[in-house]
Chains A and B, each alone.
Chain A
Amino acid sequence: MKKDLKFFWTLFISTFTLSAFTFGGGYVIVPLMRKKFVETLGWIDEEEMLDLIAIAQSAPGPIAVNSSIIIGYRLAGIPGALVTTFGTVLPPMVILSAISQFYTAFRDNVVVSLVLKGMGIGVAAVIVDVVYTMAKGVVKTKDALWIIVMCVALVVSLFTSVNVVFVILACGVIGAINVIAQDKKTGKGGKAA
């Protein structure tokens, strides 16, 4: 595949259209990206795509953005990553900037504010549903460590004003210590045997 202007244009327009017409966040856009780059364009093979998505998910930030960065990088290095990122970010940036211009007038409209009030109830239900599913996933690991971490983090974020960044950092450190501890255990087991 030749890395000419046409190639970069295809890269840009693919991520741009995916981003502009995908509602519902990372878990919707990632399968569509797979379809585009694996099936339609045939630029990445199935198995490597799974690896790329796994990496995109282990990094912080929006999954849609992370996935487009790593796909761009895989196909055309840093220039590729910049092109795909730009393509992914441009649609939401333009749309939300436009909405913010008439948002205040929009929201001061009585009917709209009533609809927004009703939708706020729906949003709360959606988030509670998501949390229930995610918490069930943690409980299902049957690993006391993660269940305790989850409960402690919840208590801390509900009842103290500790910045959430510190909660996340602490959880990451616990994860790292856990890996080191496991390595030590298996290391010792190896010596004994």
Chain B
Amino acid sequence: MILLQLLWAFVQVGAFSFGGGYAALPLIEEQVVKANHWLTAQEFTDIITISQMTPGPIAINSASFVGIRMGGIPGTLVATFGCILPSLIIVLLLSYFFFKYRNLRMVQGIVKGLRPGVVALIAASGYGLMATALWGDGPFRFAALDWFAVALFAAALVVLRKWKPNPIYVMVACGVVGALFYGLV
């Protein structure tokens, strides 16, 4: 039963994450945190952190991680397979038609419509991550704001915008600074 649930959850992640990279975030969050409660919001943030430090697409990383936790090795196989199944079918179909017609105006038009939607969904996910980091889960509460986290967040954002470093360095730096502050205070 859990294997079927894993398969179905990650088929949806694979089938609807257009745009790559962070586009899968809101879908993974929906399936893994909101609909099935396989991970808490904190664990979800941890997975993203781990994904940034390990190779591979975040969708595959989450599928493997959640899969093995919920259903052992069969779980990780099923979840990962579910995640790539829509890609296999859709990309093979598109390739077939591409090599036949090389004209994908309709597909391009649909993708154009998806882009603003995907940006909005990633923004909503980002809001959730920001909430977890800055004031804990739930709606915004000024009293619950962690002022150190706000300062570190702002500093990280300025560095990212100004010097465009590899995000991994920014995250590791935040990890070290955060550990020192929270450990000593």
Contacts and interface: CB of A to CB of B under 8 A. Distances in A.
A55 interface: yes
Contacts, number: 351
Interface string B65-83: 1011100010011001001
A179 interface: yes
A121 B110 contact: no
A78 to B, nearest CB: 7
A162 B133 CA distance: 24
Kindly state the interface size class of chain B when it binds its partner: 35 or more
Given A62-B17, A85-B88, A131-B123, A150 B117 contact: yes
Contacts of A107: 46
Interface string A64-77: 11100110011000
A58 B107 contact: yes
Contact of A165 (B12, B102, B168): B12
A130 interface: yes
A118 B174 CA distance: 5
Interface in A82-99: 85, 89, 91-93, 95-97, 99
B145 interface: no
B90 interface: yes
A176 B17 contact: no
Contact of B119 (A22, A62, A125, A138): A138
A170 B45 CA distance: 28
B164 to A, nearest CB: 9
A26 B73 CA distance: 26
A176 B110 contact: yes
B105 A121 contact: no
Majority secondary structure of chain A interface residues (helix, strand, loop or mixed): helix
A193 interface: no
B87 A121 contact: no
A59 B90 contact: yes
A100 B65 contact: yes
B183 A27 contact: no
Interface residues of A, number: 95
A78 B92 contact: yes
A42 B145 CA distance: 55
Nearest to A148: B116
Interface stretch (A5-13, A33-41, A108-116): A108-116
Interface in B126-162: 126-127, 129-130, 132-134, 149, 152-153, 156-157, 160-161
Given A85-B84, A134-B118, 10 more contacts: A61-B91, A63-B21, A89-B80, A96-B62, A97-B73, A117-B178, A121-B133, A121-B178, A124-B126, A146-B112
Interface of A: 19-27, 51-52, 55-66, 69-70, 73-74, 78, 81, 85, 89, 91-93, 95-97, 99-101, 103, 107, 110-111, 114-132, 134-135, 137-138, 146-147, 149-154, 156-158, 161, 163-165, 167-176, 178-179, 182
5 contacts: A60-B87, A62-B59, A73-B95, A115-B176, A134-B118
Interface of B: 12, 14-22, 24-27, 30, 34-35, 45-46, 48-50, 52-62, 64-65, 67-69, 73, 76-77, 80, 83-84, 86-88, 90-92, 94-95, 98-99, 102, 104-127, 129-130, 132-134, 149, 152-153, 156-157, 160-161, 166-168, 170-179, 181-183
